Amino acid sequence: MSGRTTALAPPDGAEPPVRHPDAPAPGEVIGSHYEHCFGCGGGVPHGLHLEARAGEGVSVTAEFRVKEAHQGAPGLAHGGVLATALDETLGSLGWLLRVIAVTGRLETDYVQPVPVGTVLHLDAAVHAVHGRKIYATATGRIGGPEGPVAVRASAVFIEVKIDHFIENGRPAEIQAALADPDQVKVARAFEVNP
C-alpha cells in the first residue's frame, strides 16, 4: 500500500482525456463487453441489461430500468444495484479511450430513493488521466435525462492489460471466453491501442 493514493481528485500533472480515433461515434450504442456481465450482459436474466451510448468527447450515456429483482427496501432499488449501474456506466468509458480499465475506487452519493419501474438516466465522463489512473464521474437522473439527480459517483479506474482477467478469472469462464470468437474480438479491439 505504500505510496498508493486513493484520492478521487486528479493529482498535479494529470492530463485531459483523449478520445481514441477509433472510438464509437457519438450516439452509437456500445455493445456489451461480456454476455455474462451482471451490468450489461444479455445472458444474465436478473442483470441490469444496461445499454450505453457513446457521447461527445470521453463521455457516455446509459439507461437502466429498475426491476423487481433489483429491490432493497419494498418497491425501491437496492443501493448496491444503483452503485453497479454507476460502475457499469463508468466502465463503458474505456471504449472511448480504447483501454481496459477496472474500478479501483467508487464513491457513491444517494440523493433520492429510486422506485421499481423507474428508468434511471445515466451519464458519465472522464475528466483526467494520470498514468494508469482514470478519473471519472457519473450521474443518474430520474424522470428523463434532464430530471432530478438520484445518484452520483466519483471514481478512479485503473488501466489493466487483458492478462489481468486471464490470470485472475476462474479458469472455466476464462477458457469459455477465449473460445468465443465474439469475446476475442472485443479483447482485440482494446489490444490494438497504439
Ligand X SMILES: CCCCCCCCCCCC(=O)SCCNC(=O)CCNC(=O)[C@H](O)C(C)(C)COP(=O)(O)OP(=O)(O)OC[C@H]1O[C@@H](n2cnc3c(N)ncnc32)[C@H](O)[C@@H]1OP(=O)(O)O
The β-bridge relationship of strands 133-142 and 29-30 is unpaired
CA–CA separation, 152 vs 149, rounded Å? 7
Burial of 107 (0-12, 13-18, 19+ CB in 10 A): middle
Contact characters 121-150, ligand X, x per CB under 6 A? ----------xxx-----------------
Rg over CA atoms, the chain: 17
- Using CB under 6 A, which residues numbered 3 to 42 contact ligand X? 3-6, 33
Selected binder of ligand X within 100, 126, 134, 142 (CB under 6 A): 100
CA–CA separation, 63 vs 173, rounded Å? 27
Selected binder of ligand X within 104, 116, 137, 147 (CB under 6 A): 104
Q: Which stretch binds ligand X (CB under 6 A): 18-26, 66-74, 138-146, 154-162?
A: 154-162
- Name the minimum Å distance from CB 8 to ligand X: 8
Report residue 8: phi and psi, to 5°: -90, -10
- Count interface residues toward ligand X (CB under 6 A): 21
Residues that bind ligand X (CB under 6 A): 3-6, 33, 87-88, 91, 100, 102-105, 131-133, 156, 158, 160, 186-187
